[in-house]
Amino acid sequence: MAIEHIEGKLGTAEDLTLYVHDLLAAAGADEPSAAAVARSVIDASSRGVDTHGIRLVPWYMQMVEGGRINLNPTVTFERKAPAVGHVDSGDGFGHRASYRAIEEGCAMAAESGIAAITVGRSTHHGATGVYTLAAARKGFAAIGMTHADPAVVPYGGVRAFFGTNPISFAVPAPGEEPILLDMATSAVPYNRVFLRRATGTPLPPEVAVDKDGHFTEDPHAAVALQSLGGGGFGYKGSGLAAMVDILCSAFTGMGHSATMAPFSGPDFSKPIPIGQFFLILNPAAFQALTAFDARIAAFLRDLRNEPGHPGQKVMAPGDPEHAEARRRRENGIPVDRVTWKALGESAEKYGVAVPKVADTADATTREDGA
């Protein structure tokens, strides 16, 4: 688990959700879009996934003001087969389309036992785990993924070809929060580079390269990432990235990662349509729910009871995020100073009230996703 120590502000989930919603609404986003983005980014920030939380909002505002995102899209759903559906995001926020995909997928899986939902003409949707977690909280297991603009060097290559292409998996667990995996197929998520730029801290060794292809720990010099597994074992991450790219392009009708313009600009005037892919599973179609729940409970008990190194304990996927969520419900959600300043500038521009927040000099944040 990657931990950051940042200086920033502390706000409540309720206040920050309203703040993000009102900023987007004031900029012209329709109600479903503003609500979906606010829900998604604060869900991520609430669990400590700050790379894909509220710090994305200034970037989203750049895309909004540049014209890349359709603020009033017609989001449609087509059922293509008994267990296959497609959401057309209409070049609107990927958050709204992804929540729609989960909603439709869960309804279909309740009937068919399984549902594969593709999303096309979408945009960045934040942390992919937000959506698989939403399905798990409804009682369904879910796998989700999205591709992105080229930022990751393929195994044996010298320039970026893949996106960070994250994968998420969530499954309900009896009497507790769902099991949750949310990971980039790159050595680190690219948003870690942006977060380290904002916090003024170096990158871990051998996860990023500069313009000459040399490893760098300077987040300002980093232009591409290594695949998951690093230099010696990056073929594993490259293989997973290829799987995500194919499912999110060939199956959705979108182009693959290497065909995309840079998400980070400088041109924010044109849509960069991307795809997402979700697979929803109804546990009751595979096993009696009592038996399924008993097996999940036994798995978690046995995993957590495994011996650990001194001072450490074995955790299940999602345990760190759920623990961080409990802390942040008590202490507040940290926002780094660079992000807070940018949000304040947008608030002044659009006449949006800034919520009251506290200062903090030692807020912990973790990083996952794309």
**Is residue 297 a part of any domain in this protein?**
no
| Domain limits for position 62 | 1-66+332-358
The per-residue pLDDT of the chain, averaged, comes to 94
Do both 343 and 249 map to the same domain? no
Verify that 55 and 162 share a domain, yes or no: no
User: Is there a single domain that holds both residue 35 and residue 82?
Assistant: no
Task: Give the pLDDT band of residue 172 (cuts 50, 70, 90).
Answer: very high
Query: Residue 6's pLDDT is what?
Result: 58
pTM: 0.93
Residue 367 lies in a domain: no
The alpha carbon of 25 is separated from its chain's Cα centroid by a whole number of angstroms, namely 22
Rounded average pLDDT over 314-342 = 96
In sequence order, what E strands does 216-329 have?
A: 224-226, 274-281
Rounded Cα distance, 63 and 175, in Å:
41
| CATH label of the domain that carries residue 1 | 1.10.1530.10
Q: In terms of domains, do 57 and 102 share one?
A: no
Residues 160, 153: contact at Cβ < 8 Å? yes
Q: What is the rounded CA–CA span in Å between residue 318 and residue 98?
A: 20
Average pLDDT over residues 167-192: 94
231 plus 127 within the same structural domain: yes
Whether 116 contacts 276, CB under 8 Å: no
Place of tokens 């801290």: 201
The answer to whether position 213 is within a domain reads no
In this prediction, residue 369 carries a pLDDT of 54
Residues 263 and 282 occupy one common structural domain: yes
Higher-scoring residue by pLDDT: 168, 368: 168
How large a percentage of the chain has pLDDT more than 90? Answer: 84
Written as six digits, the tokens of 56 are 């994305």
Question: What residues form DSSP beta bridges with 364?
Answer: 5
Tokens in use for 143? 């796998």
Whether residue 306 lies inside any domain: the answer is no
- Answer whether residue 141 is part of any domain: yes
Same domain, yes or no, for 170 and 249?
yes
Domain CATH number, residue 172: 3.30.1370.60
Q: What's the pLDDT tens digit per position in 239-262?
A: 999 999 999 999 999 999 999 999
In whole angstroms, what is the distance from residue 356 CA to residue 347 CA? Answer: 13
Clarify whether residues 144 and 257 are in a common domain.
yes
Q: How many domains is the chain partitioned into structurally?
A: 2
Task: Determine the pLDDT at residue 56.
Answer: 97
232 & 99 share domain = yes
Residue 172 lies in a domain: yes
Q: 89 and 44: one domain?
A: no
Give Cα 59 to chain centroid, integer Å: 14
How many CB atoms are closer than 10 A to CB 359?
9
Percent of the chain with pLDDT over 70: 95
Identify whether residues 96 and 171 lie together within a single domain.
yes
Spatial separation of the C-alpha atoms in residues 52 and 214, rounded to whole Å: 27
Q: Which of 162, 131, 183, 190 lies closest to 248, judged by CA?
A: 162
DSSP state of 96: H
> Looking at the domain assignment, is residue 310 inside a domain?
no
pLDDT tens-place string over residues 129-171: 999 999 999 999 999 999 999 999 999 888 899 999 999 999 9
Q: What is the three-class DSSP state of 36?
A: helix
Could you tell me the pLDDT band of residue 8, with boundaries at 50, 70 and 90?
A: confident
Instruction: Specify whether 114 is located in the same domain as 85.
Output: yes
d(Cα 98, Cα 40) in Å, to the nearest integer? 10
User: What distance in Å separates the CA atoms of residue 305 and residue 298, rounded to the nearest whole number?
Assistant: 10
In a domain, 151, yes or no: yes
